[in-house]
Structure 1
Amino acid sequence: MFFQQIRTQIFLTAAGLTALTLSSNAIAIPFNAVDARSMAMGGTGTASAYPGAAPVFNPALLSHFDKDERAEIIVPNIGVTAFADPGAIDAFQDIDDENYIGNITTAIDNINAGDNFSSNRDIFIDNSLGLTRSLVDLSNKPFNFSGGVLFSAAIPDSNFGWAVYSTTDAIVETTPIISACDKTLLAKYAALASEWDSPSDIQPNVEITCPAGRRIQITDANAMLIDPKHDLSSSVFLAGVGISELGFSMAHAFETDAFRISIGFTPKAVFLKTYFSRPTVQELDDPNFDIGESLRSTTNTKSDFNLDAGLALDFFEDRSLTVGIVAKYLLPKSYRTATFRTAFGDVSTKFNLNTQTRVAVAWKGPLGITLASDIDLTRNAGYFTGIDTQYAGVGVEFDVVNILRIRTGFRGNLLDEGDAAATIGLGFNIVDVVHIDFGGQIGENNAGFATQLAINF
């Protein structure tokens, strides 16, 4: 069906675009890194990350570890997440379940053939109004996909802890843009049909005017009904960005009688590759239209420089309580995609890399227990059409005799109650050298998975 094809195209293209950006030759990670341990512990890490992940959570942690903390290499960490607006899920499900488009087409064919006029007129009206309601619910509801890869080598030390890392993060944001004309067309068509008591009531060459002044013919010269799906002008907004970083993190700790404070910095090269497309529903329905080619034709690349900074304060004699704060992208930047040519003119979009800050606390307790909590201090806008986020998360880890690590937690978006997830994961320590970690998150409207292979020496 027509809108089923749109939904399928959204998911297939987003998956392909994620793979495309991840395979680019640049290397980075977004603020909410898809680290396997972090994902399993509610997205925490600013005060609790291990050395290998410290560069992407808080570089100050490289000088906060105990003296016996060993170097760590991550080779690699891979994670993916997805979010769909709850209203969009319900609207798509309603369109699928009710088969509005198919019923409208069948009813029009039957009316034009003179079969059971009253019954098919009612079917047409009911399905047109039902589709209109679903389109209203579907309009401008985002679908977000992301995937990340991290490589790092870290040597923690209180005097000079350091790490080199490279990450690639692909973000895809896609949104159905349902035009006001489509909703008006269906509503007016249904209202007009309610006035017909017999085929003789249908007038030839009837037109409907949309809010923007566009005129659409709904009957031909022979008073035959024209299927409205051919005049739908809705489109799909699809934009993606591969944000890649190559960075060097460094940290130093200062000891006092009351606490230890670690300060860390990460100068980094940032590489960006953007894609943008906004095909109409007719283009998506055209077998000759290649969405992949339309995206490749709008590829835009950019390189830049940025800086992260962080603090970590360790309290108590055993330094078991840590408070961390980090600021990423201290140099805010704005970027614009290449243009995409449409029947209505050339269009493009922009996105910002704004400074993001997060504060956290972690406690290492007895019996191998670690408790952690992170919260964003800034409201972080979606890159294109994605929802704004301000995450808060809590997590716990239980280290069973340094062999098995059991983790769980919860992450929620303070700006959107529908964006919440329970998290869980496991970590395996093999001969105290090789670490394999798995993490997952699941919510009513989102899901994610991450895995990591790390080596200590």
Structure 2
Amino acid sequence: MKRTLALCPLSLLALSLGAQAQDARVQAMGGAGSANASYLAAPFYNPALLSNFDESDDIGLLLPGLAIRGRDEDNLQDQIDHFQDLNDALSAIQQDPSNATQAQTEQLISQWQDALRQMNGDTLDGELELGLAVAIPSRTLGMALFASLRAQFQGRVNIDGDDLDWTPVELPNQDFDNLQSNAQILGLAVADLGLTFSHGWDLASGDRLMLGVSPKAQRLYTYLYQADVNNFDEDDWDNSQYREEKSGLNLDLGLAYQHGDWRLALSGRDLFKQDIESALVAGQRFSYSLKPRLTLGGAYDNGWLAATLETELTKTELPSLKDEQQQWLRAGLELDAFQWAQLRLGYRHDLEGSQDDVLTAGIGISPFDTLHLDLAAETGKDDHLGAALTLSFTF
């Protein structure tokens, strides 16, 4: 009989998980939003950009922005499928030895052990981001109400040597339903609900200085689930014993300087450090620190061509079973056809080397500059795939 192993939960990770990307336009441009985001997406990237708007803009609605991303660097999904087939075949021979010759059985056992051994330490991970916003730009004091969710997950298979230490003679007594090898799911989610305020000053030189702030209520969630590989069941996920949560307040700040078609920006997110630990599961727990993230970016926009480049000035700790950090360098390009349609390309590179380089692309449709439908996709090595969708209205 087919076992769940890590297949069911890890499949969900691969399909439903995705860097900061509540706006598909920004994701299509490599995720570079600190100097490039629209006023409506400003709460998610740089609150100062709420003051960067056209005179015709009175109110904007982002309902919603959704991004998903998954990576299977070890081809773990294929390995799991292969192991399950071998496991089922051995179980069938155990119940009826006439299903195979001795030579076939010995070869199958060797393949089973190799397949299990090769999965040791392999991971599958991904991200999910969701954003909602209502923005009212103003020359005096721009305001926006926003909500966002950022979730990161990682699954890992850990192989116990005892599951490998048996010979064909012991096949009749081998318990394929209670292996010591286990699979884990580790996750972190951060939910924000806040207000963004911004103001811009027109300088005597003709340049413009913009400052923004986003006070927000914040809730952190950790998740740690572990079970042996043959009893790993998604029906157990909602059990509260695997979750921990913590509430607090946090703050984002942003600064932007506009000189003609050029813009320089600095954003700081989650300026108050937050610490949280996971539940204790099978004698293990992990701790996570949500630390301030500083990003410096520049952008050029002449109406039909937009280009942007940004770098994170701080390293970000990943909720990872590998104890990883990341620090992104991002770049993007957009061609705009009379504010009716847009074509976008982007690239990002992890300066820490924990993540592979990613190429991004997307399109936008914006009839009458009122309805905006933005789509983005990304790809990288090791079966890295991602997608984003944003529906917004500006009046």
Given the two structures, how large is their TM-score scaled by the length of structure 1?
A: 0.75
SS of corresponding position for 1:5: coil
CA contact (8 A) 1:61 1:262 kept: yes
The 1:416/1:80 distance shift into structure 2, 3 A limit, reads same
Q: Residue in 2 aligned with 1:389?
A: 326
Q: Which has the higher strand share?
A: 2
Name the counterpart of 1:40: 28
CA distance in 1, matches of 2:333, 2:313: 22
Residue 449 of structure 1 pairs with residue 387 of structure 2: yes
Residue correspondence of structure 1 range 204-215 to structure 2 within 5 A? none
- Residue 40 of structure 1 aligns to which amino acid in structure 2? A
- 8 Å Cα contact 2:86-2:112 kept in structure 1: yes
1:353 pairs with 2:290: yes
Which residue of 2 is the match for residue 127 of structure 1? 111
* Cα distance change, pair 72–280 in 1 and its aligned pair in 2 (3 A): same
2:218 touches 2:249 (CA, 8 Å); kept in 1? yes
Q: Distance in 2 between matches of 1:114 and 1:153?
A: 65
Larger Rg: 1
Q: 2:278 aligns with which of 334, 337, 350?
A: 337
Cα distance in 1 for partners of 2:90, 2:291 equals: 47
Query: In the TM superposition, what are the counterparts of 1:85-124 in structure 2 within 5 Å?
Result: 86-87=73-74, 89=75, 91-94=76-79, 96-97=81-82, 99-102=85-88, 105=91, 116-117=101-102, 119-120=103-104, 122-124=106-108
Which residue number in structure 1 is paired with residue 193 of structure 2? 246
CA contact (8 A) 1:164 1:249 kept: yes
Matched, 1:76 2:64: yes
Judge conservation of contact 2:226–2:232 (CA < 8 Å) in 1.
Answer: no
Matched, 1:301 2:245: yes
CA contact (8 A) 1:31 1:356 kept: no
Superposition pairs for residues 5-24 of structure 1, below 5 Å?
Answer: 5-12=5-12
Displacement of 1:259 in angstroms is 4.3
Q: CA deviation at 1:76?
A: 1.9
Q: Deviations over 1:147-196 (max 9, x none)?
A: 222221223345433322112233332222233x34xx52x436xx6xxx
Q: Distance in 1 between matches of 2:391 and 2:38?
A: 13
Partner of 2:265: 324
Gaps of 5+ in 1: 19-29, 194-201, 203-218
SS where residue 242 of structure 2 aligns?
Answer: coil
Name the stretch that deviates more: 162-171 or 46-55: 162-171
Unaligned runs of 5+ in 2: none
**Alignment RMSD (CA, Å):** 3.2
How far apart, CA to CA, are the structure 1 residues paired with 2:113 and 2:198?
62
What's the counterpart of residue 183 of structure 2? 236
* Identical aligned residues as a percent: 23
3-state SS of paired residue (2:25): helix
**Residue 49 of structure 1: which of 37, 44, 49 is its match?**
37
- Structure 2 CA distance, aligned partners of 1:14 and 1:302? 27
Please state if 1:313 is matched with 2:257: yes
d(CA) in 1 for partners of 2:99 and 2:39?
Answer: 75
Residue 226 (1) aligns with residue 164 (2): no
Q: Whole-Å Cα distance in 1 between the matches of residues 223 and 15 of structure 2?
A: 13
Q: Residue 262 of structure 1 corresponds to which residue in structure 2?
A: 210
2-structure distance, mates of 1:115, 1:167: 56
Residue equivalent to 2:235: 290
CA 1:109–1:40: 2 relative to 1, 3 Å: same
| Cα distance in structure 2, aligned partners of 1:165 and 1:125 | 56
Q: 1:332 to 1:225 in 2, by over 3 A?
A: same
Q: In the TM superposition, what is the alpha-carbon distance from 1:3 to its structure 2 partner? A: 7.2
Aligned counterpart in structure 2 of residue 174 of structure 1, from 137, 142, 155: 155
Match of 1:432?
369
Counterpart position of 1:189: 166
Give 1:77 deviation, angstroms.
1.5
1:147 maps to which residue? 128
Task: Note closer, same or farther for the CA distance 1:454–1:83 as it changes in structure 2 (3 Å cut).
Answer: same
Query: CA offset at residue 330 of structure 1?
Result: 0.8
Question: How far apart are residue 100 of structure 1 and its match?
Answer: 4.1
Cα gap change, 1:267/1:427 in structure 2, threshold over 3 Å: closer, same or farther? same
Q: Is 1:372–1:396's contact at 8 Å kept on the other side of the alignment?
A: yes
Quote how far apart the aligned CAs of 1:363 are.
0.5
Deviations 1:186-222 (A, max 9, x none): 2x436xx6xxxxxxxx6xxxxxxxxxxxxxxxx4xxx
Q: Distance in 2 between matches of 1:446 and 1:14?
A: 9
Deviations 1:401-450 (A, max 9, x none): 11111112122323337633221211112223222211221223322222
Q: Is the 8 A contact 1:41 1:408 kept in 2?
A: yes
Matches of 2:100 and 2:86, distance apart in 1: 19
Q: What does residue 209 of structure 1 align with?
A: none
What's the TM-score once normalised by structure 2's chain length?
A: 0.86
For residues 352 and 417 of structure 1, the distance between their equivalents in structure 2, rounded to whole angstroms, comes to: 18
Amino acid at match of 1:266: S
In the TM superposition, structure 1's runs of 4+ consecutive aligned residues that sit over 6 Å from their partners are 1-4, 13-16, 106-110, 112-115
Q: Is the 8 A contact 2:264 2:298 kept in 1?
A: yes
* SS of residue paired to 2:296: strand
Residue pair 1:314, 1:320 contacting (<8 A) in 2 also: yes
Partners of 2:178 and 2:348 in 1: CA distance: 43
Give the number of the structure whose residues are more often helix, by fraction.
1
Q: Contact (CA 8 Å) 1:249, 1:264: kept in 2 or not?
A: yes
Q: Which one-letter code corresponds to 2:126 in the other structure?
A: F
How much does 1:228 deviate?
A: 6.1
